[in-house]
A and B are shown apart, each in its own frame.
Chain A
Amino acid sequence: MQKFSIWSLLRNSVSYHEGWQKQWRSPEPKSEYDVVIIGAGGHGLATAYYLAKEHNVRNIAVVERGYLGGGNTARNTTIVRSNYLWDESTALYEKSMKLWEGLSQDINYNVMFSQRGVLNLGHSLQDMRDIERRVTANRLNGVDGEVVTPAQIKEMIPFINLNTRYPVLGASLQRRGGVARHDAVAWGYARAADAHGVDILQNCEVTGIRRDSGTVVGVDTAKGFIKAKKVAIVAAGHSSVIASMADIRLPIESRPLQALVSEPLKPIFPNVVMSNAIHAYISQSDKGDLVIGAGVDQYIGYGQRGSYQTIEHMLQAIVEMFPLFSRVRMNRQWGGIVDVTPDACPIIGLTPVKGLYINCGWGTGGFKATPGSGWVMAHTVAQDRPHALNEALCLDRFYNGHLIDEHGAAGVAH
C-alpha cells in the first residue's frame, strides 16, 4: 500500500500526480475463503479490515452486488454521535466514537472526521425531560453530554428561529459528535483491508447460501460458487433477502429513508442540528452543501426513493427553524433502504446456521457505528461468539424479550 503523507504528496506532485497507484485491487474470486463477507458497505469493509488486522485472518473476501460503498454508506447524512440512552447500545456507539477519533491515522486515509458538536433539540416539556434523562445516562456511561438552553443555542447558531410552531425549549449537546466524509470511510477501509490481502469482489451478487446439515459451506454468486468456512451477512437493507436464502427470519422491515443536499454555500452552519420531534436534521458539509435528512417512510420499500410528503414535511420544519434557507436550492435528493428493527437497535451475532453470522438492523443510524460495528463483528466471526459489547444485541433478544428500546435516542422518527 502506498502510504499517504506530506512527503508522498510532494513526491507525486513532481510527477504531476500521475504516479499514484490504484488504491485497491479488483481480483478474480478464489475458489475458497476462510471468511466471506456479504456486502461491501462501510460495515462489511470494516469487518474485513478488523478481521485481518486484529484477528489475523488472512483469507477473506468481501462480495458486493454493485460497487463498494454504493449503498447506504453513500446515502446517509454522515452524522456521528454516541449519545444513546441504554448502557448496551451506548457502550457500542462509544466504542465506535473512540475508533472514529483515531481512524484517519489508523487506516492512513483522511475520513474528514470533524467533531463540531451535535445538538438534539427539545420542543416540549416531555422532550426536555427525556433529554435530561439521556444526558444524565450518557454522563454516567462516560459519554460527554450537556443540556443547553435556548439562549446557548442562539449563541451557537444566531440565525435559528426558536419561536416556531413547536418552540425550541433546549437541546442536548454532544461536543465530540460531528460528521465524517462517508465515501472516504468506505474507500479508506477498502484500501486498508486490501493492503491486508482482503479480496473485494465487486459486481458479484450473492444468489444463494449453501449449507450442509446446518453448517454453512459457501455462497453461490454471479461469478460462481465460492467455498467458505464462515459467512457474514452485512447487507443492511437487503438483510432479509439474504437471510431468507438460509431460511432465517428476521425482525426487520426495510424502509426508504430520504435525504437531500443543497447547492454549495459559504460556511454558515457551525454544527449538526437534529430534531426527533419535527423529523428533520441538518448540517453543512465541508464542500458547502447543506445536508438535510428526513424521517423514514411508512411502508416497506426497496426502491431507494420515498414519498414526496416526507420531503415536504422535513423541509417545512427546516425552513421554519432556519428561515434564511428558504430560498436555497436543493441539488439532489435520494433514498436509502434502512433495515429497521422493532427496538431501533442493531442485530449483531450468530445465527441458527453454524458458521453464518449476521450484522444488520442498524436502521437509520448505521453510519456513526461503522468502525465499532466492524470491530465487534470481526470479533464475533473470528471467535465464533459475540464480544461483550454485542452480546446483548444478538437475535435471541427477540425470543427472550430483552429488547433495548432506543427509539428516543435514534434521532429519526420511525
Chain B
Amino acid sequence: MLQINCPWCGSRAEIEFTCGGEGDIARPTVTDTMTDAQWGDYVFMRKNPKGLHYEQWLHSSGCGRWFNALRDTVSYRFDAVWKFGESRPATVVTHVHTGGAQ
C-alpha cells in the first residue's frame, strides 16, 4: 500500500485517500457559445498519460481536504503534493521515500 503525504496531515496510508482524477481541468467560464465538441472535451476527454500525471486527491478518511499531486502512473510514486492556492513546485523537491512535502 502506498504512503501518501497529505499536505495538512503528513504521511498516511493510501486507504485513507480518494483519487479525484486528472487535475488542472478548468471549468469553462463562457459556456453559452460552447460547441458540443468543446463540452465533450471538457467533460469526458482525459490525458491518461503513461508517466507523470497531475492529479487531485482527497484525504477522505482524514482531514477531508483536497490537494494537488504529481504522480508517476508507471511507478505510482508521488513526486510532489501541494495545497490548492499554492503554486506548483518548480522542481520535484520531495517524494514519499524521503518523508514527503512540507
Contact = CB atoms under 8 A, between A and B. Distances in A.
Interface of A: 238, 240-241, 249-254, 298-303, 307-309, 342, 398-401
A398 B76 contact: no
A298 B55 CA distance: 12
Contact of B48 (A254, A309, A401): A254
A298 B18 contact: yes
Contacts of B14: 307, 309
Interface stretch (B35-43, B79-87, B89-97): B35-43
Nearest to A256: B76
B19 interface: yes
A342 B73 CA distance: 19
Interface in B46-91: 46-50, 53, 55, 71, 73-76
A344 to B, nearest CB: 13
Given A303-B74, A303-B76, A399-B40, A251 B46 contact: yes
Given A250-B48, A398-B45, 15 more contacts: A238-B50, A240-B46, A240-B47, A251-B44, A253-B48, A254-B73, A299-B55, A302-B50, A302-B74, A303-B74, A303-B76, A309-B14, A398-B44, A399-B37, A399-B39
8 contacts: A240-B46, A240-B48, A241-B48, A249-B47, A252-B48, A303-B74, A399-B37, A400-B36
B73 A300 contact: yes
- Of all A-B residue pairs in the complex, the 3 with the closest CB atoms, nearest first, are A399-B40, A251-B44, A240-B48
A302 B72 CA distance: 9
Interface of B is mostly: mixed
B99 interface: no
Nearest to A339: B48
B9 interface: no
A342 B44 contact: yes
A251 B46 CA distance: 6
A78 B36 CA distance: 38
B84 to A, nearest CB: 19
Contacts of A240: 46-49
Interface of B: 1-2, 14-15, 18-19, 21, 36-37, 39-41, 43-50, 53, 55, 71, 73-76
Given A253-B21, A399-B37, A400-B36, A301 B73 contact: yes
A253 B47 CA distance: 8
A238 B21 CA distance: 18
A14 B71 CA distance: 59
B76 A301 contact: yes
A299 B58 CA distance: 12
Given A302-B73, A309-B15, A253 B36 contact: no
B51 to A, nearest CB: 8
Given A307-B1, A309-B1, A398-B40, A249 B73 contact: no
B45 to A, nearest CB: 4
